[in-house]
Amino acid sequence: MKITLISIPVRDQEKAMRFYTEKLGFIKKKDEPLGGGNRWLILVSKDWVDGPELLLEPAPNHFEPSKVYQDALMEAGIPWTQFDVENVDSEYERLTELGVEFSVKPTKAGNVKYAIFNDTCGNNIQLVQEL
- List pLDDT tens digits, range 16-62: 999 999 999 999 999 999 988 999 999 999 999 999 999 999 998 89
Write down the architecture of domain 5-130 according to CATH: Roll (3.10)
- Quote the CA–CA distance of 125 and 115 in Å, as a whole number: 8
- Quote the CA–CA distance of 100 and 98 in Å, as a whole number: 6
Query: Rounded to two decimals, what is the model's pTM?
Result: 0.94
- Quote the CA–CA distance of 68 and 90 in Å, as a whole number: 33
- Quote the CA–CA distance of 40 and 15 in Å, as a whole number: 15
- List pLDDT tens digits, range 53-104: 999 999 988 999 999 999 999 999 999 999 999 999 999 999 999 999 999 9
- List pLDDT tens digits, range 119-130: 999 999 999 999
Q: Tell me phi and psi for residue 57, to 5 degrees.
A: -90, 125
What one-character DSSP code corresponds to residue 122?
S
pLDDT of residue 24: 98
